[in-house]
Structure 1
Amino acid sequence: MIGILVIITLSWLLLYLIEKKQILVLGLLPFGKRLIQFFIGFLITGILCILTQYLEAYLKSANWNLNEHITGNIILRSFWWDVKSVLTEELIFRGALLYIFIQKMGSRKSILISAIAFGIYHWFSYGVLGNLLAMILVFIGTGLMGYAWAWAFSKTKSIMLPFGLHLGWNFFYNTIFSKGPLGEVVLTLKGGTELSDWASLLNFISGLVLVPILVIIYVYYFVKDESEMNS
């Protein structure tokens, strides 16, 4: 939590020193509208995560089972971990720096820079640096997702929609389906067989390629550009 407070403080300083703006330009207001955007994003990626995880179970002929040792406290601690990690990444990649870049260079270049930086960052957070194939796959998946979330920030002029999109995926992926670094949380995958090469490719495409493309389509067609609305 201290790290988040430090990032918020640095974000405020950057915005004030470079753009003479307050941190509210990251789109926290009007709160009701932003909260709706957050929950819409959360539901969209949450549903997409559910679909991809059940596709994996189908391909493996496996089943998702409730963790017998799960408690409410474990779920809350895992959810809070998701919130902190997502908020940290959003403040870094879709916060003050992206806002400043958009003001200086325009949306297109800024969104692309944010997406590339997000993809490269995950080489380190996923621990794949040096494994060329893994680096390419991680860069494609997280870069595309970073592009979708940065575009959502640019169109809404708010961090709340990308925050919801990001948290929806991470919460279901890490906490509900126990795919994160916290180990078994709510559901565990039991039984089944190893995926064949083609099934593995299909599983990869659905999770790391198709999902961000669907989010990009959603942002393109269904998210209103607030700069055009206010012009």
Structure 2
Amino acid sequence: MIGILVAIAISWLLLYLIEKKSILALGLLPIGKRLKQFLIGFLITGMLCVLVQYLESYLKSSNWVLNNDITSVIILKSFWWDLKSVLIEELIFRGALLYIFIQKIGSRKGILISAIAFGIYHWFSYGVLGNAMAMILVFIGTGLMGYAWAWAFSKSKSIMLSFGLHLGWNFIYNTIFSKGPLGELFLISRGGNELTDWASLLNFISGLVVVPVLVLIYVRYFVKKETEIKTGTKN
């Protein structure tokens, strides 16, 4: 919780010092509209994550089974962990800095910088620094996704759509399919075989290339471009 408060405080300070704006410049209002964007984003990446996990299960001939030890309290704690980590990353990569970059150097350059930074950041968070091939793959996948989410921020003029897109993927991936650092949670993979080279490549492409491309298509054709952040008025 302290990390979120610090991230919000720093974001607010940067916006005020550089743009003379409040935290509302990140498109938090109107609440109803922003909540709708958040939920749509959450559902889109959540469903895509489900499809990717079941494709992997099909390729491995494995099954997903319910964890008998799971409880609602554990799910809520895991959701809170996902929410905190996603919110902090959004404030860093799709928050005040991206807003300022867009204002100062334009949306295209700002989005690209955000995407590159997001890809490099995951070298450290995934622990692949020093492994050249893994670094390339991680950079491609997370960089593409970071580009899609930053573009969503730029077009919607709100952090809420990218927040929903990010949380939808992370919550389903980490909590529902137990792929995160918190161990076995809601569903557990049982049985199956190791993926062959072609199956492993197909699985990689589906998760780290196809999903970001589909999100990019959604942002390109279905997210209405707003001309300005009306709620981010000067103090």
Are 2:149 and 1:156 aligned? no
Q: Note the 1:124-163 alignment, pairs <5 A.
A: 124-163=124-163
SS of corresponding position for 1:227? coil
Counterpart Cα distance in 1 of 2:229 and 2:94: 21
Change in Cα spacing, 1:170 to 1:114, as seen in structure 2 (3 Å) is same
Matches for 1:110-129 after TM superposition, within 5 Å: 110-129=110-129
Q: Find the aligned partners of 1:140 and 1:118 in 2 and give their Cα distance.
A: 10
Cα separation, 2, equivalents of 1:57 and 1:11: 41
Where 1:64 maps in the other structure, the secondary structure is: strand
Partner residue in 2 for 1:11: 11
Q: How does 1:8-157 map to 2 (within 5 A)?
A: 8-157=8-157
Whole-angstrom CA distance in 1 between matches of 2:39 and 2:4: 22
Provide the C-alpha distance between the structure 1 equivalents of 2:137 and 2:183, rounded to a whole number of angstroms: 23
Does the residue aligned with 2:14 lie in a helix, a strand or coil?
helix
Query: Does the 8 A contact of 2:67 with 2:187 survive in 1?
Result: yes
The Cα offsets for residues 150-193 of structure 1, whole Å up to 9 and x where unpaired, read as 00000000000000000000000000000000000000000010
**Structure 1 CA distance for aligned equivalents of residues 122 and 76 of structure 2:** 25
Consecutive unaligned residues in structure 1, runs of 5 or more: none
User: Secondary structure in 1 aligned to 2:227?
Assistant: helix
The CA RMSD measured in Å over matched residues stands at 1.1
Please give the secondary structure, in 1, of the residue aligned with 2:183. Answer: coil
Q: 1:109 to 1:220 in 2, by over 3 A?
A: same
Range that drifts further, 202-211 or 220-229? 220-229
- 5+ unaligned residues in a row in structure 2: which ranges? 231-235
The number of residue pairs the alignment matches comes to: 230
SS in 2 for 1:144: helix
Q: Percent identity?
A: 81
> CA-to-partner distance for each residue in 1:45-78, whole Å, 9 max, x for gaps?
0000000000000000000000011011110000
- Runs of 4+ aligned residues of structure 1 deviating over 6 Å after TM superposition are none
Give me the whole-angstrom Cα distance separating, in 1, the residues matched to 2:108 and 2:45. 23
Offset of residue 148 of structure 1: 0.2
Question: CA separation in 2, counterparts of 1:155 and 1:14?
Answer: 21
What residue number does 2:233 align with?
Answer: none
Contact residue 115 and residue 146 of structure 2 kept, 8 A: yes
d(CA) in 1 for partners of 2:80 and 2:225?
31
1:202 corresponds to? 202
1:93 offset after TM fit, Å? 0.2
> In structure 2, the residue corresponding to 1:226 is in which secondary structure?
coil
TM-score by length of 2: 0.97
Q: Give the structure-1-normalised TM-score.
A: 0.98
Paired residue secondary structure (2:194): coil
